[in-house]
Every structure is written in structure tokens, then in C-alpha cells.
Amino acid sequence: MLRSLVGSEMCIRDRYHQNLARLCASLRDQLVHVYANMYLTPPRSQAVGTHTDDQDVIILQIAGTKLWTLYESPVTLPYTHEMVGKTGPHRAVTDQMREKVVEEVELQAGDLLYLPRGMMHEARTGDGNLSLHLTLTCPSHDFTWAKFGANAIGQLLMQQEGELRHMVKPETALGSGEASEQEAAILAQIVEAVKGLSLSKAQEAFRSKMGSHNGPQDHAAHNEQMSAPLPRQIRPSSQLRMRRGMLMGFDDGDRTNPLCKLVIKNNGRTLEQAVDRQHIFIYHAIASTKGDHFAVEELPGDGYSQICVCKLLLRQEVLEIFEQGASGGGKGKAAIMSSIPEDAHAEEDDDGELLYSG
């Protein structure tokens, strides 16, 4: 799947490419879970500003060059809410942080760079040099003892019957009132339930959790169609249509975030995808077509952005490609071009299926 990031960087994810999914699956014995993104960055670009991650990252430069600036970690082994440069102005990168440069590294094709969890960094391309690199990410913040235990305790408590399934009174939750003896007893019940936690139960809870993460990756690893190219190059004049049953909306609560959440629903399945806020008006325009066909060039925005958005939705099988006057269609008629290989068989009334559920 192609998606556009801030700064016109393009990304292919492992969930949409068979070989990347297989590579990630092969690393599970050593790293529990790994996911991959492949980034194509044009010259003179910086897609993301200086920031830290709550993950361990391995970067393989495939083509071109990219300059990385590495800084000391502002927070040792941060959790998601402790990242800087990504979670809003209250966690912004300061001038003091920028002064603590560790090293500047220019990656050439074949070079490998490891970024430990929490190391602050930024990357940019130079004049005349594009960059293609593969990022292998281990979400190590989610595999800490604290998260391992919290996941197990959470699952254990949600299996309990009785009072623990009831809503906590607002005054109790907010501390604005006196706790009753009954409420104190419920809290004691929680403590008592946690005492029943064992390592084997924690491991079972963790395996259950990882199954939901690994499922979409396994689907891509065993699906030959995931690496199939689109049947036609997208042109400004290409005719497209939303597949039957697709609904698009947005979860746009934090307007300070350069990304917003695109929500796609289809027959009970839901896909949530972070998209560039600069392109949100293009998605709105596509959603407003309500199944009518349209030309790529009829969408708002510049041609590059139009094609990026349409390629993303085609790979997710949200859109169908039409070709005016296609063979057998007759003049003025449109023939559906599915986003699967030509030798595959598809029913005419296929309502489409999201590649994974969020």
C-alpha cells in the first residue's frame, strides 16, 4: 500500500506487501513482533521533524542517500505518552535537546542503522538525491514487563463477574466524594483477583494479544495478490468509483496533529488509517461521490496529491478503476478494472473487502 506522509514522502507497509510481511514474520522468535515500512523520499525533503519513538528501529538504505542526525535520548526507554516531537506542543523538542547531538550519519545504499528506543533523531534528503529505505520496527514499549503485566491484569479483571462489571460512580472515580465501605470492598476484590495471576496466565494473555497483531501480517504473507501491481498506471484522466458498500469518515479530534484518522467501513468491518491532514479535502471529495464514477483530475488539490490518495484507496480496494471505451464495453461505457491480477477470478457483484480490520 502506498500512502503519502507530510513532506510528500511515500510509504509501503508490510500489511500490503507479501515479501515484507514474510520478513517480519521470520523475526518473531527473536523480537516478538516486527512491522515494516518502506519510504520513498524526494530530494530536499524532510517528512517528519525531530522526534523520539517508543520503539526500536532498524533502517536499511536501499537506494539513494539520506542524512540522519542523532541526539541523546531526552527520556530513557520512553512510553508512547513520553515521546517528544510527535505528541503535541506539551511534548515539543526544545533547544536544549537539539544541542545534544551524538552523531550525523549519511546512509548509502546497503548501509544499516539501528536506532534504540528513545533516541531522538531526524532525517532529510539532499539536493538532487532521492532516498528509498526500509524500516523494521519492534514496538518494544509494548513488550516491557510493565505492559506485559498490565495486559495480563487487565484481561484477568475483565474475566471477573459481579461488581467489577459495574460502572464506577463519577464522584468515586474523580475523588469528589467519600468512598463507601462497599466501594472499598470492591477495590479489595481487585487486589485479591490480581493475586491469582501467574506467569502462565500472563503468557496466555500475551499470546492472545499478539494474535490480533500478527493476523493481518500472516494474511499478507500467505496472499500472493498482496504484492501484485495495480493493473494500470493511474493517470489524471483515469476513471474511478468507490466500491459498493464502502463508507468513509474521519476522526479529526486533534487539529494540531499533522495526521488525522480516516475511517472506512464495509459490511461491519472497519479500517482506520492515519492520513496527511493536507489531503483530507481530497478524501472528503471522494466520499461525496457516493459510488458515482469520477476522473482523478476532477478531485481538488494538485495532481501528485490526487494520484497518491487514489493509489492508497485502490490498494485497499476501496476504489475501482474504470477505463472508458475498454474492449467489449462499447463507446462511452466504462469497464471495471479490479485491483487484483488479470488472471484472478472475481464476481461481478463483489462488494469488496477491506484488507484488514482495525
Cell triple for 326: 475498454
Encoded amino acid at 135, one letter: T
Residue whose C-alpha is closest to residue 221's, from 77, 82, 356: 356
Q: How far is CA 188 from the centre of its chain?
A: 39
Phi/psi at 282 (5° precision): -70, -45
The neighbouring-strand residues paired with 59 are 113, 135
Ranges in the chain, pLDDT < 70 = 1-16, 225-232, 323-358
* Cα–Cα distance measured from residue 76 to residue 91, given in angstroms and rounded to the nearest whole number: 15
Half-sphere exposure of residue 250, counting CA atoms within 13 Å on the CB side? 20
SS3 194: helix
How much is the pLDDT for 295?
Answer: 93
How much is the pLDDT for 201?
Answer: 93
How much is the pLDDT for 6?
Answer: 42
* Cα–Cα distance measured from residue 250 to residue 174, given in angstroms and rounded to the nearest whole number: 31
Instruction: Say if CB 275 and CB 260 are below 8 A apart.
Output: yes
Find the helix or strand (DSSP H, E) in which 19 lies: helix 18-26
- Per the document, the length of the chain is 358
Contacts of 197 (CB under 8 A, 6+ apart): 149, 152, 153, 156
* Cα–Cα distance measured from residue 117 to residue 140, given in angstroms and rounded to the nearest whole number: 7
* Cα–Cα distance measured from residue 355 to residue 33, given in angstroms and rounded to the nearest whole number: 20
How much is the pLDDT for 11?
Answer: 65
How much is the pLDDT for 148?
Answer: 95
* CA angle at 63 for the pair 309 and 235, rounded to the nearest 5°: 30
How much is the pLDDT for 10?
Answer: 63
Residue whose C-alpha is closest to residue 140's, from 121, 118, 155: 118
Q: CA of 84: how far to CAs of 75, 76, 78, 290, in Å?
A: 9, 12, 9, 40
* First vs last C-alpha separation in the chain: 15
* Cα–Cα distance measured from residue 75 to residue 101, given in angstroms and rounded to the nearest whole number: 15
Residue whose C-alpha is closest to residue 7's, from 56, 38, 41: 41
Cell triple for 337: 478494472
Cell triple for 179: 468512598
How much is the pLDDT for 270?
Answer: 80
Residue 181 is given by DSSP the state H
Residue whose C-alpha is closest to residue 252's, from 221, 217, 284: 284
How much is the pLDDT for 12?
Answer: 65
